[in-house]
């Protein structure tokens, strides 16, 4: 049987992309299922095939269906990954790995790291906490940390590694094995504050490192029903999916909704209208080449 390799290149601005695995055929090696009786969900794979690929351009992908995102309270997630290449500037860190993601500003992440040129592009590994958009800050929220790194180990491109991240209400662990199941890296943090323990959805995450994923799975003995704030979804009319379509007047207008009692901006077709934008400011904005500096920064 021939299989089609499915490649995803997801460009995001700190917005997690949720992939709906249910759209694939049952025979596909990229399918998922959720067994409510055992609280397990996982992805069937053909281990010799690339089942997922991240371009590495600030990309992330959550492997749970969007209508049933499962935040693991007690459980683990794993993936066999292959870093392919790095294209980060020499002044920046490149990372790829596995994340338990609560929000884009709050998550635990097990990463393979490409350090900047100042550190000779050294390859290392880490288990770190992103909290309130600060990274890494696990030192503030753990009472003890334990580490093991195989002597003289440094990961290599085009080599496969098995990453596993496990969490319960007292601790989190990150393990990296070789494809031959030799332990290469182990980091364990014991929580000292409730802020460091939060449910997370198993997520691929890469920034600056193109990565192939081969075997992906997750299981849990306990899920959380906690929900996190996300942007409203877009629909085909560039509006959001709540509230429902109102009268199509042919004009943009502001009107109070009778259901939520909030004021909404509606498009000519009666759909709630909003826009999400991004702006980037660097030290070179406003740079004056005559003065040789940025006088207004």
The rounded distance, in Å, linking the Cα atoms of 61 and 174 is: 19
- Tell me what pLDDT residue 258 has: 73
3 state SS of 294: coil
Residue with tokens 């460009």: 11
Q: Are 79 and 68 in contact (CB under 8 A)?
A: no
- N- to C-terminal Cα distance for the chain? 61
3 state SS of 119: helix
Q: In what order do the strands lie in the sheet with 106-114?
A: 17-18, 59-62, 201-207, 94-103, 106-114, 123-131
User: How is residue 2 written in tokens?
Assistant: 């021939």
The rounded distance, in Å, linking the Cα atoms of 75 and 79 is: 14
The rounded distance, in Å, linking the Cα atoms of 278 and 56 is: 19
Q: Are 265 and 272 in contact (CB under 8 A)?
A: yes
Listed in order, the ranges of the chain carrying CATH 2.60.120.200 are 17-224
Assigned CATH class of 17-224: mainly beta
* Integer angstrom CA distances of residue 186 from 140, 164, 174, 204, 212: 20, 10, 6, 19, 22
- Tell me what pLDDT residue 229 has: 52
C-alpha closest to that of 185 among 204, 165, 158: 165
Q: At CA 43, angle to CA 223 and CA 22, rounded to 5?
A: 90
The rounded distance, in Å, linking the Cα atoms of 138 and 129 is: 5
3 state SS of 223: strand
For the chain, give the number of residues. Answer: 297
Q: DSSP character for 92? A: S
User: 185 - beta bridge partners?
Assistant: 149, 176
- Tell me what pLDDT residue 194 has: 67
136 prior amide bond cis, ω within 30: yes
The rounded distance, in Å, linking the Cα atoms of 278 and 275 is: 10
Q: What pTM, to 2 d.p., does this model score?
A: 0.62
* Integer angstrom CA distances of residue 82 from 176, 178, 292: 12, 11, 44
List per-block mean pLDDT (blocks of 10 residues) for the chain, which spans 297 residues: 37 30 30 29 40 60 50 84 85 87 83 92 93 77 91 96 93 95 95 76 82 77 65 44 73 80 81 63 50 50
């Amino acid at each position: 049987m021939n299989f089609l390799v499915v490649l995803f290149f997801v460009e995001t601005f700190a917005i997690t992309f949720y992939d709906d695995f249910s759209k694939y055929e049952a025979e596909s090696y990229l399918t998922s299922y959720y067994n409510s009786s055992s609280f397990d969900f996982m992805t069937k794979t053909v281990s010799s095939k690339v089942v997922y690929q991240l371009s590495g351009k600030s990309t992330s992908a959550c492997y749970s269906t969007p209508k049933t995102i499962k935040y693991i309270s007690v459980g683990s997630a794993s993936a066999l990954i292959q870093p392919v290449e790095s294209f980060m500037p020499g002044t920046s860190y490149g990372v790829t790995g596995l994340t338990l993601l609560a929000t884009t500003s709050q998550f635990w992440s097990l990463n393979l790291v490409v350090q900047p040129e100042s550190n000779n592009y050294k390859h290392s590994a880490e288990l770190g906490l992103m909290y309130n958009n600060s990274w890494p800050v696990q030192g503030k929220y753990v009472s003890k940390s334990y580490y093991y790194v195989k002597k003289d180990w440094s990961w290599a491109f085009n080599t496969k590694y098995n990453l596993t991240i496990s969490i319960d209400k007292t601790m989190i662990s990150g393990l990296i094995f070789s494809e031959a199941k030799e332990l290469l890296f182990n980091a364990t943090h014991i929580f000292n504050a409730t802020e460091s323990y939060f449910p997370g959805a198993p997520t691929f995450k890469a920034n600056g490192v193109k990565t192939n994923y081969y075997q992906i799975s997750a299981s849990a003995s306990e899920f959380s029903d906690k929900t996190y704030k996300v942007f409203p979804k877009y629909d085909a009319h560039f509006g959001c999916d709540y509230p429902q379509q109102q009268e199509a007047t042919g004009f943009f207008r502001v009107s109070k909704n009778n259901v939520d009692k909030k004021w909404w901006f509606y498009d000519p077709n009666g759909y709630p209208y909003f826009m999400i934008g991004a702006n980037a400011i660097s030290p070179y904005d406003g740079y004056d080449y005559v003065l040789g500096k940025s006088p207004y920064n």
